[in-house]
Amino acid sequence: MAFELPDLPYAHDALEPNIDKETMMIHHGKHHAGYTKKLNAAIEGTDLEGKSIEQIIENLDLNNAAVRNNGGGYYNHSLFWQVMSPNGGGEPTGAIADAINDAFGSYDAFKEKFSAAAKTRFGSGWAWLCVHNGGKVEVCSTPNQDNPLMPGVGCGGTPILGLDVWEHAYYLKYQNKRPDYVSAFFNLINWDEVNKRYAANK
Ligand code: MN
C-alpha cells in the first residue's frame, strides 16, 4: 500500500496570523505531497514496500538518500501538522508539563532551549522535543529531513514535537526573520497532541 498525503487537521488559513494561508497551501500541497510521491517511488518494488513509515526510518540505511530524504520528509510533516492547532499555544499541562519541568527546570527554560535549537540550525532542518524510554524528554535538532528515529541521527528517542525551519516553512511571511517564525510557533503548539504522543512513547 502506497503512502498517502494526510489531510491537514484544519483549514489552510486556520493558523493565521502565525502561519499564513499561502505558505500552508504550498507547504502541504506541494512540499509534503512531493515527499510522499518520491517516497513511494523510492520504495516501490523493494522490501520496504508495505512497511510502516516508523519501521522504514528506524531501520534506515543512511546511504539510501531517496528514502532518507523523502521518508523523513513524509514522517516529519505528518507530525508537524498534528502538533499545531488554531487553538494551541500557552503553557503545557499534564504529564508533558511535569516532564518539561523535570528536564529543563521550567517551561520558559524549555522554550529558550527549543528556540535556540530552531534558530541555530544552519540551513534547513528541524528542532525536536523527544521522549526517551522512561519518560525523560530532550531537545535537539537535525539537518535536512533527518529525524531522531533514524539510527545515529539527532538525540534519539521518539519525537513528540517538531518545528520545520526550512525556508519553505516561513519565507513568504517572515523572509529572513526565522526567529519571529520560531516565536510565533509557540502560539500554535497543540499540547493535547504532544501529551498523547508523550503517553504513547514514554
Ligand atoms: Mn517543510
Q: pLDDT for 147-160, tens place per residue?
A: 999 999 978 899 99
Measured CA to CA, the distance from residue 66 to residue 91 in angstroms comes to 38
> How far, in Å, is the centroid of ligand 1 from the Cα of 169?
5
Please classify residue 184 by burial: count the beta carbons closer than 10 Å to its beta carbon, then call 0-12 exposed, 13-18 middle and 19+ buried.
middle
> How far, in Å, is the centroid of ligand 1 from the Cα of 24?
10
> How far, in Å, is the centroid of ligand 1 from the Cα of 156?
21
Q: pLDDT for 25-67, tens place per residue?
A: 999 999 999 999 999 999 999 999 999 999 999 999 999 999 9
Residue 142: what pLDDT?
97
Residue 156: what pLDDT?
87
Q: Looking at the predicted structure, is the pLDDT value of residue 91 above 90?
A: yes
Q: Looking at the predicted structure, is the pLDDT value of residue 114 above 80?
A: yes
Locate cell 498525503: which residue? Answer: 5
Measured CA to CA, the distance from residue 138 to residue 185 in angstroms comes to 18
> How far, in Å, is the centroid of ligand 1 from the Cα of 134?
30
> How far, in Å, is the centroid of ligand 1 from the Cα of 164?
6
pTM over 0.95? The answer is yes
Q: For residue 134, which phi and psi values (nearest 5 degrees)?
A: 105, -20
Grid cell of 56 as nine digits: 522504514
